[in-house]
Amino acid sequence: MWTILEIVLPVFVLMILGIALRKGGLLDVPMEKALNTLCYWVLLPVFLTWNTAIAPPLDVSALRGVTAMLAVVFLLLFLGLAFTPLLRLPPRSRGTFLQACFRSNNAYVGIPIITFALGETQPDLLAKGLGLAAVILTPSVLLYNFLGVLVLEWDRRHGSEQHPFQTWLRGTFKNPLVVGCLLGLLWNLLPLPTPALLGRIVTPLGTAAFPLALLAIGARIASLPWHHFGKNVLALALIKNAAPIPIAFWICRVLQVDDLSMLIVLVMSACPTAVASYVLVDQLDGDRDLGAAAIATTTALSVFSLVAALWAATLY
């Protein structure tokens, strides 16, 4: 158990440091936005492109991992749909609630956890794991964007200047994380050379993404509306923090995924609601207070869900 805590704690310590820096005035809103911009547009895409490029070629086990992750997303969406009539959510809140149920913060939280989990293993296994994580992340982000627009547009009661499919298409292919993964996948499939000198240049850039991103997440959490608690947020925590582990474990057993894919799917499924989900809620006029409270609550509780996910991976 202590080994699992050693994997999870560094991520949350960095978030707590971000909260403390915001409270102390050292990490203000402009700096937080600058860190997010740097990580989102440069550092994380560099990391994903390079690690996907140097990953072993795709095989059946990788495709099983992708299938398992996408199945988890759909099952969490259906679970959210089952809860919405019970909660009697107003139309403007339904899409926000549903998106928060299935959209995970895989890039900013999941990959650092996977990196720490594999950090004590052989370098080859770490490289394979990060490459596989990037491969699984790509279709997941595509699905998150598609379903996010779908559920937020479903209950809107006023016209939109742009068709939902156009919104999804534009948002997806402007997403630098998607672009980075797709470029890396193309690089891997061709395959193009991966010079060692280039690796020594881009590796520190990619590595820098995670501490900076986690500090920025902490700063964001410090300013989120924690007072918006209620049955909606509690139900969301049950779906996002508790349900994914047994669901992901069962799906991986059914699909017979390998140990490494199992670890990645479990960790990514147990991640909190993505900070990026709030951007979509804001753009599509969802319930902004519920969206912000969902991020704060699921992030705080994800220390337990991530520990449970790592423990479940040891049982496989």
pLDDT in tens, 53-81: 887 777 777 899 999 999 999 999 999 99
pLDDT at 239: 95
- Answer whether 0.75 is exceeded by the pTM: yes
Report the domain count for the chain. Answer: 1
Bridge partner residues of 273 (DSSP) = 104
Contacts with 131 (C-beta within 8 Å, 6 or more apart), sequence order: 51, 52, 54, 55, 56, 188
CA dist 108 → 215, 253, 277 (Å):
10, 27, 13
- Show the low-confidence residues of the chain (pLDDT under 70): 1-3, 120-121, 155-172, 224-229, 283, 316
* Secondary structure of residue 104 in the 3-state scheme: strand
Largest separation between any pair of C-alpha atoms in the chain: 57
Cis bond upstream, residue 45 (ω within 30): no
Q: Which domain holds residue 62?
A: 2-315
Separation of alpha carbons 146 and 166, rounded Å: 10
The answer to whether 233 and 290 have CB atoms below 8 angstroms apart is: yes
CA dist 52 → 8, 16, 37, 186, 242 (Å):
24, 30, 22, 9, 30
Separation of alpha carbons 207 and 47, rounded Å: 7
Question: Which CATH number goes with the domain that contains 165?
Answer: 1.20.1530.20
User: What would the two tokens of residue 270 be?
Assistant: 């147990």
Bridge partner residues of 303 (DSSP) = none
Going by C-alpha positions, the residue among 276, 269, 277 that lies closest to residue 302 is 269
pLDDT at 159: 47
pLDDT at 65: 94
pLDDT at 5: 77
